[in-house]
C-alpha cells in the first residue's frame, strides 16, 4: 500500500496521516471545512483568540500517560504552561471549595484534609488511578489485548465504583466535580473512561498558550514536510468500491482521489453514509453503528475581558449548585459550569452541559437566521452561567467587554459531530463490545479513527490514532517507533 486518503483533519485524522507519512506512505488529508483541527480550531473575535473545544490536557511530563505519544508526534515543544500543582482544578459546591493537587499522594492527602474520615479510601482511589495509568499502553505492548474489553474496566460501572469506595456523598460529588470533561451517566459510564481521564490530569495538567490550533498546525506542517498533502475545502461525498475494496473517494466537486487505504476521521454514522453504495458494507454492521447513542453536547460562553479587571488564575474552576447531583441526566437546568482562563489574561470561557433536545427545534434553520427565540435562549443560558459563578468570581460581570456563544448546533456545524456531541459515542459498561469500536470496518481497506472509537480527549484520540495506524503499519513497527522497545 502506498496511497492513503484520510477523511477529516481533526486530531485523529492528522495523527493517522502523520504516522503513515512517517512510514513512507503517500498521504492525502481531505478536510471539508476551510480550517483544519476539528475541536482544536481557534477563532478570533476582534483581537481576542478563543478555543473551540480544547482547554487543557494532562500527563505531559516524562513517564506520564501522554508524553510518549506527544514526543512521537513532535508536540512537546509547543508553548505548554503547567497549571498550579497545588490546585490545578478547584471544585466549588455551594459555598465550599476543594482543591485537586497534582501527584497521586498529594491529591489524596489534600482532599483528606477536608475528609479525614475518608483518608484510606482516598489513598486506595489514588493508587487505583495510578495503576490504570501505569497500564495505559498495554494495548500497544501486548498482542493479546484485542477483545479484552468485556473483562476489563470497560465492563465495570464508574458510578458503582464510587458508591462502593466512598461513604461520604459530598466526597463522591467532589471526586466527580471536575468531570465536565466527560459525560457522567450513572447508568452507562465505564469505570475505565472515568479512571483513565482523571488519572492523566492528576499526573500533571497543562494549558497551551496560543490555542489548540497550534497542535493541528504542527501536525499538518510535519505531514507536508514528509511529502504528504493536507487539503481544505474538500468535502468527501462518497467512498467508492471496486472488487470488494475501497478504490478511493469522490469529492463534492466531482473529482476522484484514488486510495489503497481510506481512514475516516468522522462520526461512524457519517462514515456509513459515505459508504452507502458499497456492497461490502454489511447490513448488520451498518445497523449496529446506526443504533449507537451519542453523549451530551456543550454550551460555551466565550468572554472577552476588559484589561486588568480579572486576576488570572492558573487553574480551572468547576462550580456546582449545592444540591446538584452530577450523575443525574441533564434536564436543561444549569447546575454546573466550568471556568477556564486563557494564559494571555484577556479572555475566559464558561462551559456547561447541554442536551441536543434543548436546541433541536432550531436544527433545520441556518446559522444567523434561527430567530429571536434562539437568541433569547442563548442569552438566558449566558445569564444562568453568570449567576452560577458570580459568588466565586464577583468581579466578572463588570469586566465583560464582549460575549460570544456556541451551542451543540455550533459544534455540529463546524466540527460535524453528530447532534453536537462533545464526547463522541456513549460507551456503556453493560455492553463494551458493542459501544467500544475497533478501527476495522467490513470493507477491508477502510478504517475508522477519532474520539468515537475508544476514548475522547487528546489522550484517547492519540491512542486511537495509533491503534488505527497499527492496522496498516503493523503493531511491532509502531511499538518500536513510539516506545523504543
Give 439's DSSP letter: S
Where do we find the cell 462520526? Answer: 267
| Among 15, 293, 295, CA closest to 183 | 295
Mean pLDDT in residue range 141-164: 73
Percent residues over pLDDT 90 in the chain: 83
Looking at 216-305, which runs of residues are DSSP E strands?
229-231, 236-242, 245-251, 256-258, 261-264, 297-305
Give the pLDDT of residue 65.
93
Angle at 443 between CA 440 and CA 446, to 5 degrees: 60
CATH of the domain spanning 80-209+294-420, picked from 3.60.21, 3.40.1350, 3.30.1390, 3.90.660: 3.90.660
Residues of each domain in the chain carrying CATH 3.50.50.60: 3-41+211-292+430-483
Q: Of 196, 180, 177, 176, give the one whose Cα is nearest residue 59.
A: 196
Q: What is the reported pLDDT for 143?
A: 53
Radius of gyration of the chain measured on its C-alpha atoms: 22
Spatial contact of 241 and 168, defined as CB atoms under 8 Å apart: no
Q: How far apart are CA 449 and CA 454, in angstroms?
A: 9
Is it the case that residue 144 has pLDDT exceeding 80? Answer: no
**40-44 mean pLDDT:** 91
Q: Is the pLDDT of residue 163 over 90?
A: yes
Mean pLDDT of all residues belonging to the chain? 92
Closest Cα to residue 27, out of 16, 41, 35? 16
249-295 pLDDT, tens digit per residue, is 999 999 999 999 999 999 999 999 999 999 999 999 999 999 999 99
pLDDT of 139 over the 50 cut? yes
Q: Which of 215-219, 231-235, 413-417, 452-456 has the lowest mean pLDDT?
A: 413-417
Q: CATH 3.90.660 occupies which residues in the chain?
A: 80-209+294-420
| Apex 260 CA angle, 257 and 266, nearest 5 | 70
pLDDT in tens, 423-458: 999 999 999 888 989 999 999 999 999 999 988 899
Cell numbers 450523575 correspond to what residue? 327
CB 460 within 8 A of CB 449: no
Q: Is residue 91 predicted with pLDDT exceeding 70?
A: yes
Per-residue pLDDT reduced to its tens digit, 397-415 = 999 999 999 999 998 887 7
Q: Which CATH architecture has domain 3-41+211-292+430-483?
A: 3-Layer(bba) Sandwich (3.50)
> What's the pTM?
0.94
Sign, CA torsion 150/154/158/162: positive
Amino acid at each position: 500500500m502506498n496511497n492513503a486518503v484520510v477523511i477529516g483533519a481533526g486530531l485523529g485524522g492528522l495523527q493517522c496521516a502523520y504516522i503513515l507519512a512517517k512510514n513512507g506512505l503517500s498521504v492525502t488529508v481531505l478536510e471539508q471545512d476551510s480550517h483544519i483541527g476539528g475541536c482544536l480550531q481557534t477563532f478570533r473575535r476582534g483581537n481576542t483568540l478563543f478555543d473551540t473545544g480544547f482547554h487543557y490536557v494532562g500527563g505531559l511530563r516524562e513517564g506520564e500517560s501522554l508524553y510518549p505519544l506527544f514526543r512521537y508526534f513532535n508536540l512537546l515543544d509547543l508553548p505548554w504552561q503547567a497549571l498550579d500543582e497545588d490546585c490545578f482544578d478547584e471544585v466549588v459546591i455551594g459555598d465550599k471549595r476543594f482543591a485537586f493537587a497534582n501527584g497521586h499522594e498529594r491529591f489524596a492527602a489534600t482532599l483528606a484534609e477536608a475528609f479525614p474520615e475518608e483518608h484510606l479510601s482516598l489513598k486506595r482511589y489514588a493508587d487505583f488511578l495510578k495503576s490504570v495509568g501505569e497500564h495505559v499502553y498495554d494495548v500497544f505492548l501486548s498482542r493479546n489485548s484485542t477483545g479484552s474489553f468485556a473483562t476489563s474496566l470497560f465492563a465495570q460501572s464508574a458510578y458503582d465504583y464510587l458508591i462502593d469506595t466512598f461513604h461520604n456523598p459530598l466526597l463522591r460529588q467532589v471526586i466527580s466535580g471536575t468531570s465536565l470533561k466527560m459525560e457522567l451517566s450513572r447508568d452507562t459510564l465505564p469505570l475505565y473512561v472515568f479512571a483513565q481521564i482523571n488519572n492523566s490530569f492528576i499526573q500533571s495538567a497543562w494549558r497551551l498558550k496560543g490555542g489548540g490550533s497550534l497542535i493541528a498546525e504542527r501536525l499538518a506542517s510535519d505531514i507536508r514536510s514528509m511529502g504528504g498533502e493536507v487539503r481544505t475545502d474538500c468535502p468527501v461525498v462518497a467512498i467508492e468500491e471496486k472488487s470488494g475494496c475501497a478504490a478511493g473517494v469522490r469529492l463534492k466537486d466531482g473529482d476522484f482521489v484514488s486510495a489503497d487505504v481510506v481512514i475516516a476521521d468522522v462520526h461512524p454514522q457519517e462514515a456509513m453514509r459515505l459508504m452507502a453504495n458499497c456492497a461490502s458494507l454489511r447490513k448488520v454492521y451498518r445497523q449496529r453503528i446506526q443504533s449507537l447513542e451519542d453523549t451530551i453536547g456543550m454550551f460555551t460562553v466565550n468572554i472577552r475581558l476588559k484589561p486588568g479587571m480579572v486576576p488570572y488564575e492558573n487553574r480551572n474552576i468547576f462550580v456546582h449548585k449545592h444540591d446538584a447531583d452530577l450523575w443525574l441526566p441533564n434536564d436543561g437546568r444549569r447546575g454546573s459550569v466550568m471556568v477556564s482562563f486563557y494564559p494571555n489574561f484577556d479572555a475566559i470561557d464558561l462551559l456547561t452541559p447541554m442536551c441536543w433536545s434543548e436546541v433541536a427545534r432550531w436544527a433545520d434553520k441556518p446559522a444567523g437566521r434561527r430567530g429571536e427565540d434562539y437568541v433569547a435562549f442563548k442569552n438566558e443560558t449566558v445569564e444562568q452561567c453568570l449567576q452560577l459563578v458570580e459568588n466565586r468570581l464577583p468581579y466578572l460581570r463588570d469586566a465583560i467587554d464582549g460575549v460570544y456563544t456556541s451551542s451543540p448546533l455550533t459544534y455540529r456545524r463546524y466540527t460535524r459531530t453528530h447532534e453536537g456531541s462533545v464526547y463522541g459515542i456513549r460507551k456503556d459498561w453493560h455492553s463494551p463490545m458493542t459501544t467500544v469500536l475497533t478501527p476495522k470496518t467490513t470493507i477491508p481497506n477502510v478504517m475508522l479513527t477519532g474520539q468515537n472509537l475508544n476514548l475522547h480527549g487528546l489522550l484517547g484520540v492519540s491512542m486511537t490514532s495509533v491503534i488505527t495506524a497499527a492496522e496498516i503499519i503493523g503493531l511491532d513497527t509502531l511499538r518500536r517507533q513510539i516506545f523504543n522497545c
